[in-house]
Amino acid sequence: MKKGTLQISSPEFRNNEVIPARYTCDGDDISPPLSIVGVPAKAKTLVLIVDDPDAPSGTFDHLVVFNIPAPDKSLESISPGAFGEKLPWGSLGDNGARYGRNSWGRLGYGGPCPPSGTHRYFFKIYALDGALSLPVGVGKKEIERMMSGHILEEASLVGLYKRS
């Protein structure tokens, strides 16, 4: 992992703490507010991936967004529910920001909904030296393959969730 000044956090939960139910399938199922700071000056775009490595069938992708413009001050306060039908930076593709497909086969955010036990949810941010030439709806594996060798820095936030 390339560490530096890049950081991702949420005002709703700290690293390795429980994600409030509002942001899960047991609540409103909206994306939590996020703050992304310390984006390297040389970064052109960001990739945001939220996944659950504890899913019984293997890592489950809850959100995949790529070509987020960077640096952008709006990243410092991404509001709750920002990853719905439209991206916080305009509608799909207006400025290059695009959704990849999550494990439900949809675009956008799908909150934690573990079948049993406590699961870890990784909110991962990557600063890249350029944009990815990929279409809306591409899978995470293809995005990861294309960003290999272009990552300037990366950071993560881990949230926990267990259904009652």
What's the pLDDT tens digit per position in 26-55? 999 989 999 999 999 999 999 999 999 999
Domain range list for the chain: 7-161
1.20.210.10, 1.10.8.60, 3.90.1150.10, 3.90.280.10: CATH of 7-161? 3.90.280.10
Half-sphere exposure of 36 (CA within 13 A, CB side): 27
Please give the Cα distance from 120 to 101 (Å, whole number): 20
Residue 90: the pLDDT is 45
> Which class for 34: exposed (0-12), middle (13-18), buried (19 or more C-beta within 10 A)?
buried
Residue 92: the pLDDT is 43
pTM (two decimals): 0.90
Tens-digit pLDDT profile for residues 58-74: 999 999 999 988 866 55
Give the pairing of strands 45-52 and 35-37: unpaired
pLDDT at residue 93 greater than cutoff 50: no
Residue 83: the pLDDT is 67
